[in-house]
Structures are given as structure tokens and as C-alpha cells.
Chains A and B, each alone.
Chain A
Amino acid sequence: MTMPAVSPAAAETAAEPMLEVTDLTTHFETPRGIVRAVDGVSFTLDRGKTLGVVGESGSGKTVLSRSIMGLLPKRGTIREGSVRFDGTEIADLSAKEMRAYWGARLSMIFQDPMTSLNPVMKIGKQITESIRQHLDVDKKYANELAENLLRSVRIPEPEQRMKEYPHQLSGGMRQRVCIAVALACGPTLLFADEPTTALDVTVQAQVLDLMAQQQRERFMAIVLITHDLGVVAGRADEIAVMYAGRIVEKAPTSVLFTDMKMPYTEALLSSIPKLEQPSHTRLATIPGRPPNLVNPPKGCKFAPRCAYAQDRCLEEDPPLLPGSQPGHEYRCWFPVGTPEGIDALARNRANADAATGSPVPGAAGGAA
């Protein structure tokens, strides 16, 4: 194991993980039919750990986080499965009962700091609102807490900023304010839904560092949702790759990057531009588009876009199979790096086409 030494507290909670999601399913009723946005997702998360959830747009990352938090609208949403948090089943709690968890124990940071702050409310007010909602403190103490929070997320002159409106701050500063709001009541589990997507690259690193620091200080678990493998690479303990509403591969970070089994993970990784490549190198892409979630393909959901796909992939849906290393799971009949996988890829290259008709990179026929 490449994990750092296990702390006593972590060992204690290892018996029962803080968050245990089992077979979570979230479907939406739409005029076009039922959209299977999240389709049987299971994972566990311990306190102090970070789970990275990676996937394309529309793979169900955001819906997964909102479904776990119970933030989705009741209307037209079918939600099944179990979410256990600190030993309590929270999947069937009403919004009224969930309010004790929201903000106080579960919290969330959103993608766009431009829209996740109220434009007509002062920064200070936005932080003290939830402090006063959850903690029995007077206004003065709440203000002090808010000021300290702003200081701890490294906002200069917090007492000044408290009196300002969101539009007076830059994007990075606003996201820090959002983090301060989310952390105000000391949650133990934080969902960060693409927290850096709307930010400059330089500010991205600062915000991620800040989150990591807060995580260490508060011994908090983070579910870091992103479409950018680079963001989670150095920061997540474990990574779950999502595709079409399912986890298609899940592994400890180092295992995932060295020993990936799912062709989709491989394709995601190879689409990251590399420094050593000459300029103007054509970026590797994944052909096709994510499947229609109303009528998903019969077999493996990724098969229509997969370079490894064989006839079997179109017929049978692969289950989550255990990998060679502990904690590694994947869904694939012809995993990357295994004899079956190498064989399948070679066969597709020779035929210049995958069984499903998707182009194969490096194929003899010169597709793509």
C-alpha cells in the first residue's frame, strides 16, 4: 500500500466508514422518458479522506453529489438505494430532517462562484446566516466567527470585505468566500462540485491548496468532483471514474494512474496534453458522445466509443470486477493491460474498426 501511516482516528472509523453509499440510483422523469442520471453507485469514504469523482459532462457527477446530499427536487425524481452517514441512514429523510445535516455536517461548494453567492447580500451576512441558523450564538460572536473564517481562507482585510457585495470581489476571492460559507458550521463532509472550473489556472491551485489545508485542520472528508484528472491526481486518496451514471473504475489514486483497467480511464488520461509533445500535436480525443441516458446501449455503456470493444461488449453489461490490488474495481470484459485486452485491441486494429464501428486509434485502415 502506498497510503500514509494510518492515524488512530482513521483506524477507529475504519470499522464503519463515515459515508457509505450503496446502490444509489437517481432517475428523472422527463417527457422524453426516464433519464438514468445515477445508476447504482456504491462507495465508501472515511473521515479525512478525499474521493475524486471524474467524468465527462453529463456522466452524472453533479447529480450524484446532490443526490447524496438530498438536494434534488422531489418532483420527477426517483431515488433509490442507501446513503449512510455517521451510522445513520439519510437517504429517506425529509427535507425538514435533512436541514439539521445541511451546512452543519454536510456542505457543498459549487462550480461557479459568480452565481453561488447572492448578488444583493453582503459577504458577512452570507456567512453569518448559516452560523446563526445552526449554532446558538449571538450576532456579535457570529460576526467574529465569520471574520476569522474569511481570514482562514486567506482573504485580506476580512473586516472590510464583510461589508462588501460579491460583485466587488474577483472570481478567486468569491470562491474563497464560498468555501468560508461552506465551512462556517464545521461540516465533516464537503462536496466540492467542480470548485475550480470557473477559475484561472493560477487561482485554481490556490483554491485547491486552501481546501486541502482546511481538510487537514478540520479532519474533514471531501468528495472532489471534476472533469479534470489533473486536479484530482495529486489531491485525492481514491478516484472514481464515472460514465453514464455509473462508476466504471474505482481505485486508490496511485493504482489508477499506474494500473488502469478501463479503456475509458485510459482514453481520459491520453486526452491530457503532454509537455514533452511538440507544439501543435493533435490532442487525443474520445470519439463519439456520451450515451443517451434515456435509452442507454444494451451492453457496456462505453462500448460504442471504445477501441477495445468486441461483440461481447455490445451484448453483456460488465459487472464491477475486482482488480489485482485492494480497492481497485472496474467494469470491463477486455481490461487494459491484460492479455484479453491487448488481444482485443490488436484484433480491432487489424480489422481497422472496433466491433461497434468506433474508430480505433493506430488502426491499419487509418481511421482517425
Chain B
Amino acid sequence: MPAQPPDDMPVSGPEGARDLDRYAEDSLESGLAVAQGNLYFSAVEVGGEGQRRRGRKLGLGAWLAIGWMVFIVLFSVLAQLGVLPLKSPTESFAACARLGPFAKEGTAPGHLLGCDSNGRDMIARLAYGGWSSLFVATGAVLFGLVFGGVLGMLAGFFGGKVDTVLTSLFNVFLAIPAVVLALALVAFLQGASSASGSGGTNVDPKLLLILAIGIVSIPLLGRITRASALTWSQREFVLAARAQGAKPLRIMIREVLPNVIPAMMSIALLAIAIAIVAEGTLSILGVGVKPPTPSWGNIIGLDRGKIKESPHIVFLPALLIFLTVLSLNFLGDVVRARLDVRESAV
């Protein structure tokens, strides 16, 4: 039965209906309802003003976190692009070795934050190291988001056996200590790439790290995605879409996924923070970014023995990791809080 063309259907309703619609329009135009997202609530919610403002405005902490992230990303990306007037991160100034702002032997002239034990400029190493750390962490989380996201969506949306199998798989992987798993993966991947790369091609060790940390992050991101997909899949509009004859894959991608993505974004920020720390851990253990290429982790790892005489070599990258992870965690919370507001309004 084809749809009847409803061209000639009566347009005007009874007066009552029109008045009501007019009212709805007016309050929409005044912007009252748009803010909270719900007409009925906007009229009732007198005490909700403060809450609404908190939902809309970012606090000082959030601005500081955004500011720090913008600064650190610009600092490392511009350094990598060669735009910043920095010294080379691999060039040694032997006379300045281990000298710096807090070093016992004195400060290094011309190097604002001093040099590491090989006499390499700390500012340059921190900038280029920032690039390594952020690149590896972001890449790993993107990798984890894609695979963990797909698996989590499948588990949460289809449920049943698919869910049982995937969730147990996630649980098995989560039960293996993350560092041990990452170490094993790096070792395995290095072996595999050097075996296949004997023909001349050499895989960037950063890509191996991305792969290793990414794989470790799959169960974590997958479980979060699954939980969110599970709740959204049980919503009535999903049943409504089914009752309209939409195919499961279409429902999953068009109806459920757009609602799950905000949750994935908020966890992604936290995951990047975790991945930065993970990269640092692996570097300290000697399987991270290969020296002389700096990363925040391997700067600490290389000179961790000099912490007494030249604490700046260890503390400066640690400080950057600390501030970056703190900012990311904070932003993750901000994103989540704002999404909660949106959800309650819908």
C-alpha cells in the first residue's frame, strides 16, 4: 500500500490547538526554552537558574585546563614543525651537562631550563618530547576508540551471545596487568616488525607503541561504549525505529551511535591521560620511544639516576605530565558533567 499523498489535507486546526502552538512558539523565540531544552520545565524551574548557569558557563578550573592543553599542544606541535626558535633536542652542549635551574653545580648559560646529563637543551627536549608523548597517546586512544568502540557497540546493541563473548574477552584482557600486557605486546610487535622489516623498511617505534597501548586500551574503551550503547539501545526511540522497519545496522549507526559518541568523547580525554602515563611507564622501562628521540617518559627514564644532583631533568617532564594529565582528567569530567545536564533535559 503506497503512502497517500497528503497534499490536500486540512491545514488549520481548531483554535485551541493554534493558541497552544502560538504559546509554544513565543516561549521558544524568547529563548527561555532553548536554554534548558524543555518547554514545560522552563516554566516551572524557578530555582533551576543557578544550576542552568553552572551548566552553561565553564569554571576557572576548566579554563585553566583548556589553556594548559592549548599551550602544551601548540608548544609541541610548533616545535615539531620547526617554527619555534629552539635548539636541537639531540645536540650536546658538553659544558652544560646536568646544569639547570635547580642543579647543585649551577645553571647553564643560554639554556633557560638547563640541560640533561648529555648536555642537551631541556626546553627543546621537553617540546619535542611532548610531541612524542601526545602523538603516541592520542594515536593509541584513537586506535582503541575505533576497535573498542565497534566491539562495544556490537556488544551493547545486540546483547545476548555477542555480548557474553565480547564482555568475557574484555574481562580477560582487563585481568592481565596493563603494563605487563603492553610490555609483551611491544616486545612481540618489535620482533614481528624487525623480522618482516629485514628487507629494509623500518617501522617507526612510535607506531609500535601506538599499537601496543591502543590494544591495551580496547577493553577499557569497549566496556564504556558497551555500557552506554546498552542503555541507549533500550530507549523507546530505538523500538520506535524498529517498529518503522529500520534495519538493525541502520538503527545501530543512525540511532544509537550518535547518542553514544558523547560518552566516548569524555572517556577518550581520560584515556589520553592514561595513555600518556602508560607511554611514560614504558619509556622508563626502556621499551618506549627510542632515544635519542625524546619523549616525556624517556627523558625521565634516561636520567632517573641523576635525580639528586640535577632534579630538574626528572621533575620538569614529570611536571608537564602531571599538569597535562590533570587537565585532561578535569576536562573529561567537565565534558561528562555537561552531557549529564543535556541528558536530563531531553
Known: A202-B20, A206-B16. A102 touches B245 (CB 8 A): yes
Interface digits, A279-299 against B, CB 8 Å rule (1 contact, 0 not)?
A: 000000000000000000000
The answer to the question of B188 belonging to the interface, with a C-beta cut-off of 8 Å to chain A, is no
Taking a contact as CB atoms under 8 Å apart, the answer to whether B37 and A167 are in contact is yes
Known A121-B255, A154-B17, A167-B37; contact A116-B236, beta-carbon cutoff 8 A: yes
Contact of B20 with A116 in the complex, beta carbons under 8 Å: no
Most chain-A Cβ atoms within 10 A of its Cβ — which of B1, B6, B22, B236? B6
Q: Point out the residue from B9, B22, B160, B237 that lies within 8 Å of A217, measured CB to CB.
A: B9
- Do residues A108 and B21 form an inter-chain contact, with CB atoms below 8 A? no
Which chain B residue lies CB-closest to A213? Answer: B10
Evaluate contact between B17 and A206: CB separation under 8 angstroms: yes
For A180, give the chain B residue with the smallest CB separation. B6
Residues of B close to A209: CB separation below 8 A: 14
The answer on a CB contact under 8 Å between A135 and B28 is no
Chain B positions within 8 Å of A105 at CB level: 1
Residues in chain B near residue A111, CB distance under 8 A = 236
| Complex CA distance for A269 and B12, rounded to whole angstroms | 36
Asked if A170 and B18 make an inter-chain contact with CB atoms under 8 angstroms apart, the answer reads no
What residues on A are CB-neighbors of B33 within 8 Å?
A: 168
Which residue of B11, B24, B160, B244 contacts A170 across the interface (Cβ within 8 Å)?
B24
- Choose among A115, A121, A145, A167 the residue that contacts B254 (Cβ–Cβ < 8 A): A121
The answer to whether the Cβ of B246 comes within 8 Å of any Cβ in the partner chain is yes
Query: Which of A121, A131, A178: most chain B Cβ within 10 A?
Result: A121
| Cα of A248 to Cα of B239 in the assembled complex, Å | 29
CA gap between A173 and B20 in the complex, in Å: 10
How many chain A residues have a CB neighbour from B under 8 Å? 61
Identify B237's interface contact among A115, A134, A172, CB under 8 A: A115
Q: State whether the Cβ of A13 lies closer than 8 Å to any Cβ in chain B.
A: no
Q: Given A152-B10, A206-B14, A217-B9, does the pair A169, B24 have CB atoms closer than 8 Å? A: yes
- Indicate if A75 sits at the interface (CB-CB under 8 A): yes
Q: Is the CB of B37 within 8 A of A168?
A: yes
- CB atoms of B237 and A186 under 8 A apart: no
B58 within 8 A of A: no
Query: A96-132 vs B: 1/0 string, CB under 8 Å?
Result: 0001111111111011101111111100000001110
**Interface flag for A267 (CB, 8 Å):** no
B316 to chain A, nearest CB (A): 43
Confirm or deny: B309 has a beta carbon within 8 angstroms of a beta carbon on chain A: no
Whether, in the assembled complex, A229 has its beta carbon less than 8 Å from a beta carbon of chain B, the answer is no
Collect the chain B residues with CB atoms within 8 Å of residue A102's CB.
Answer: 242-245
**A130 interface neighbour in B16, B236, B244, Cβ under 8 Å:** B244
- Answer whether residue B34 sits at the interface, using C-beta atoms and an 8 A cutoff: yes
Digitize A53-77: 1 where CB-to-B-CB distance is under 8 Å, 0 elsewhere: 0000000000000000101000100
A103 and B1 contacting across the interface, CB-CB below 8 Å: no
Interface membership of B83, Cβ < 8 A: no
B244 touching A71 by the CB < 8 A rule? no
Q: Given A120-B259, A152-B10, A166-B346, are A108 and B24 neighbors across the interface (CB < 8 Å)?
A: no
Which residue in B12, B20, B237, B243 is a CB contact (below 8 Å) of A118? Answer: B237
B105: CB under 8 A from chain A?
no
CA distance A185 to B2 in the complex (A): 7
What chain A residues lie within 8 Å of B50 (beta carbons)?
Answer: none
Indicate if the CB atoms of A151 and B9 lie closer than 8 Å. yes
| Minimum C-beta distance from A7 to chain B (A) | 18
A166 to B38, CA, bound (A): 9
Q: How many whole Å from A130's CB to the nearest CB in chain B?
A: 4
A141 to chain B, nearest CB (A): 10
Measured between C-beta atoms, what is the minimum distance from A302 to chain B in Å?
A: 30
Which chain B residues border A99 with CB–CB below 8 Å? Answer: 245, 247
Given known contacts A120-B259, A167-B346, A71 and B3 CB-to-CB distance under 8 angstroms = no
* Pairwise interchain contact A118-B255, C-beta atoms closer than 8 A: yes
Residue among B7, B33, B242 with the highest chain A CB neighbour number at 10 A: B242
Across the interface, do A117 and B7 meet the contact criterion of CB distance under 8 Å?
Answer: no
Contact A108 B254 (CB under 8 A): no
Q: Indicate whether A325 reaches chain B with its CB closer than 8 angstroms.
A: no
B345, CB-defined interface residue at 8 Å: yes
Residues of B within 8 A of A120 (CB): 258-259
A108 to B242: give the CA distance in the assembly, Å: 10
Q: Count chain A CB atoms within 10 A of each CB in B4, B39, B240, B258 and give the residue with the most.
A: B240
Task: Say yes or no: A108-B13 contact (C-beta < 8 A), given A121-B258, A135-B3, A170-B24.
Answer: no
Residues of A within 8 A of B246 (CB): 103, 129-130, 133
Q: Give the contacting residue for A107; candidates B9, B159, B244; CB below 8 A.
A: B244
Q: Which residue of the partner chain, among B6, B18, B235, contacts A152 with CB atoms under 8 Å?
A: B6
Which residues of chain B are within 8 angstroms of A323 by Cβ–Cβ distance? none
Contacts of B37 in A (CB 8 A): 167-168
Within the complex, what minimum Cβ distance (angstroms) separates B215 from chain A?
30
Chain A residues with CB under 8 Å of B34's CB are 168
CA distance A213 to B246 in the complex (A): 27
Pairs across A and B, CB under 8 Å, 19 listed: A102-B242, A103-B246, A104-B245, A107-B243, A110-B240, A111-B236, A121-B255, A134-B245, A135-B2, A145-B5, A151-B9, A168-B34, A170-B39, A173-B21, A181-B244, A185-B3, A188-B1, A202-B20, A203-B20
Nearest 10 pairs of A and B residues by beta carbon: A103-B244, A103-B245, A102-B245, A152-B9, A154-B13, A186-B3, A130-B244, A167-B37, A119-B346, A116-B236
Chain A positions within 8 Å of B, measured between CB atoms, are 69, 71, 75, 99-108, 110-112, 114-121, 129-131, 133-135, 145, 148-149, 151-152, 154-157, 166-173, 178, 181-182, 184-186, 188, 202-203, 206, 209, 213, 217-218
Sample of 6 more A-B contacts, CB < 8 Å, known A116-B239, A116-B240, A145-B5: A75-B160, A118-B241, A148-B6, A171-B39, A188-B1, A203-B20
